[in-house]
Structure 1
Amino acid sequence: EYHIPLDRPLLFSWGRAVEYKRFDIVLQAAARLKGQIHPVVMVIPRYERLIKLREELGIEASLVFAFDPELVACLLQWENTVVAASLAFNEPFGLTPAETRVHARKQGALMVVSNTGGLVEQVEDGVDGFVTRQDDPDDVARTIAHILEMSEEEKQRIRQAGLKRVLREYTWSSQILRTLAAVVPEIAAVAEEVREAIMSEEWETLWDAS
């Protein structure tokens, strides 16, 4: 239905069809990689600018003008999806890094984010994802090329660190316990023990069982 190849490494990006999301940079970066990776961009509503850009660049790219949450989840956890890119300019926060990491687990996409706004606060470059210049397709292409050359062991370390960061910082339980520890310093140690115990249990559910 969406003409997504089953035998190619994929670069996936998704969101609203607005200029600051920089889906144009996603296509331009893919073009610079000369067929090494196939871009899949899911946006709503229909975005004529991307259709025109795909034609101008002369590349194969899957443009999905519908929001399909099941397809998002499938692509993020699929082993063929090498990179999930969120290159928005000054996105206030955005949950795409957390969403990607929870779905990707042991085999899915690695996160590449813009070096502006709240996204960069959720990714430590080279440790649990990658940070790139959102206005520079050459820099984005270099980052993707680096990921394509990584060993599976190296990718696994990135995925593992990314999921641990989600469980440590972005679950409801971790947020509540961190807030309690800050408001009531006397219970900080206990709150941290509880947080670590919950994180360990969630880790077994999400990682060890995947």
Structure 2
Amino acid sequence: MRVLLLSDVNSTHTQKWAVSLKNAGVVSGLFSITEPKVPWCQDHGIPLFLSRWQQWNTLLPAVFTKTLYLMRLPSLRRAIKDFRPDIIHAHYASSYGFLGALSGFHPFVLSVWGTDIFDFPNISFVHKMIIKFNLSKADKILSTSNVMVRETEKYTNKEIEVTPFGVDLAHFKLRTVDSIFDNDAVVIGTVKTLEPKYGIRDLLKAFKIVKENNQNLPVKLLVVGGGPEEKVLKKLAKDLSIHDDTVFTGSISSIGVSEYYNMISIFVALSIKESFGVAIVEAQATEKPVVVSNSGGLPEVVEDGVTGIVVESKNPDAAAKAIEYLVHNRALGEKMGKLGRKRVKQIYDWKNNVEQMVDIYNRILRSLSKV
């Protein structure tokens, strides 16, 4: 089976899918409209096809970016001719989905990711029609969460299958690491790109409350990840007088992230907007109790009161209360952590997720053979 993925070569999600599919016996290739920052395709023997128009990405005004897709179409058609796929699979409905729809190739699989379906169609009537067009051309539509299924159903009557984006349980697991904190520290932590939509400001405010209410405890805050808000958040931490108890790691490689999960006592994700929440799944895989906001797909990956606690979004007081509850109930937190890993094994085991995707491809090809 030959599958050509249409996706951003610099996305870790793209890399994970392409490499895992190859390891599962699928001959996978990749078409990208951006140049790779690292040669991972070459390292894994995955054919990479690039658009001839990457250099125009930052030169043209945003209003012309969709026109660029028409210019990139010949490059995609050449890639299809050279690679000879049985299936093309576009990841991200608004950009690569548009290219896939315009290519005219079938079978065409389309995966929605989040902002492509939550934000893009709301920009204008034209954007909404582009999404409807892309979905109308897809032979199979996939989503990582049920909340995203419901959003996608606003633009299509087609069946949408949920394909969870899980984790490698052999990599994300509870283990002893060399922590940057003292052994007795209670570490509240998160792993996120530092952008406004991920609610890190609310986390800092919640931590201040927890710190003030528990001055006799060595409570620390660990913020793993970099992003455009890093300077703003560091200033906020100083303004809140929590900077001495807060560690910002800055950007880190995906390889080393599991080390940080194992330094955390309680994982917190207070996103204002998020379609799925891979980091929460990773945290639960490492047996951490979690506190999450009730935004988007986050409540789907947490069993409230069993593997973690779901709180109201944009409510630092509610988050602080939940965090404090777990700080003072360590045994409950450990139990939640173990139940969290058990749930991840059942639903978000990456090995099973890849097998599901291969099964979807096989079902599509079998249905064609019957026509």
Whether the TM-score (by the shorter chain) exceeds 0.5 is yes
Unaligned residue ranges in structure 1 (runs of 5+): 185-210
Q: Is the 8 A contact 2:193 2:227 kept in 1?
A: yes
Aligned twin of 1:101: 284
Aligned position for 1:161 = 339
Pairing partner for 1:26 from 189, 192, 203: 203
Structure 2 CA distance for aligned equivalents of residues 157 and 42 of structure 1: 24
Q: What CA distance in whole angstroms lies between the structure 2 residues aligned with 1:165 and 1:142?
A: 25
Q: 1:113 to 1:179 in 2, by over 3 A?
A: farther
Aligned to 1:75: 260
Say how many residue pairs are matched: 174
When normalised by structure 1's length, the TM-score is 0.73
The aligned amino acid for 2:345 is L
Task: Quickly say closer, same or farther: Cα 1:18–1:177, change in 2 above 3 A.
Answer: closer
Question: Which blocks of at least 5 consecutive residues in structure 2 are unaligned?
Answer: 1-178, 364-371
Question: Cα deviations across residues 102-136 of structure 1 (Å, max 9, x unaligned)?
Answer: 2x23xxx3111111111111111110111112301
Native 8 Å contact 1:167 1:174 kept in 2 = no
The counterpart of 2:191, out of the listed 2, 5, 14, is 14
Q: Does 1:44 align with 2:222?
A: no
- Compute the displacement of 1:144 (Å): 0.4
Partner Cα distance (1:131, 1:74) in 2: 25
Give distance in 2, aligned partners of 1:63 and 1:177.
Answer: 37
Q: CA deviation at 1:173?
A: 4.9
Give the letter aligned to residue 149 of structure 1.
H
Residue aligned with 1:44, SS: coil
Contact preservation (8 Å) 2:195, 2:227:
no
Give 1:72's aligned amino acid: V
State the partner residue of 1:64.
249
- Is 1:16–1:45's contact at 8 Å kept on the other side of the alignment? yes
Deviation at 1:30, TM superposition (A): 0.8
> Which sits farther off after the overlay, 56-65 or 166-175?
166-175
**Quick one: distance in 2 between partners of 1:97 and 1:15?**
10
Structure 1 stretches of 4+ moved >6 Å: 177-180
Could you tell me which amino acid in structure 2 is paired with residue 111 of structure 1? Answer: V
Q: Deviations over 1:125-150 (max 9, x none)?
A: 11011111230110000000000111
**Whose Rg is larger?**
2
Q: Distance in 1 between matches of 2:254 and 2:328?
A: 29
Q: Deviations over 1:27-65 (max 9, x none)?
A: 111101124421111231361111110111011311222
Task: Identify the match of residue 110 of structure 1 among 265, 283, 289.
Answer: 289
Q: Which amino acid aligns with 2:199?
A: R
- Following TM superposition, by how much is the alpha carbon of 1:4 offset from its aligned partner in structure 2, in angstroms? 4.4
Q: Which amino acid aligns with 1:5?
A: F
- Tell me the distance in 2 between the aligned counterparts of 1:66 and 1:178: 30
Residue 5, structure 1, aligned to residue 181, structure 2: yes
Deviation at 1:68, TM superposition (A): 4.2
Whether contact under 8 Å (1:11, 1:84) holds in the other structure is: yes
Distance 1:70 1:9, change over 3 A: farther
- 1:56-113, CA deviations, whole angstroms, 9 ceiling, x for partnerless residues? 10113112222144553223223xx2211111122011211221122x23xxx31111
Distance in 2, matches of 1:83 and 1:130, equals 11
The residue number in structure 1 matching 2:269 is 86
CA contact (8 A) 1:76 1:100 kept: yes
Decide which of 329, 333, 339 is 1:150's aligned counterpart.
Answer: 329
Task: Kindly provide the amino acid, as one letter, of the partner of residue 13 in structure 1.
Answer: T
User: CA 1:151–1:84 in 2, change beyond 3 Å: closer, same or farther?
Assistant: closer
- Larger helix proportion, structure 1 or 2? 1
Measured in 1, the distance between the counterparts of 2:202 and 2:227 equals 18
Does residue 127 of structure 1 match 2:303? no
Query: What does residue 195 of structure 1 align with?
Result: none
CA distance in 2, matches of 1:96, 1:177: 21
Give the Cα separation in 2 of the matches to 1:69 and 1:16. Answer: 12
Cα 1:82–1:172 shift into 2, 3 Å: closer
Using the size of structure 2 for normalisation, the TM-score is 0.43
Deviation at 1:158, TM superposition (A): 0.9
Q: State how far apart, in whole Å, the 2-side matches of 1:172 and 1:45 are.
A: 27
Q: What's the CA shift for 1:155?
A: 2.4
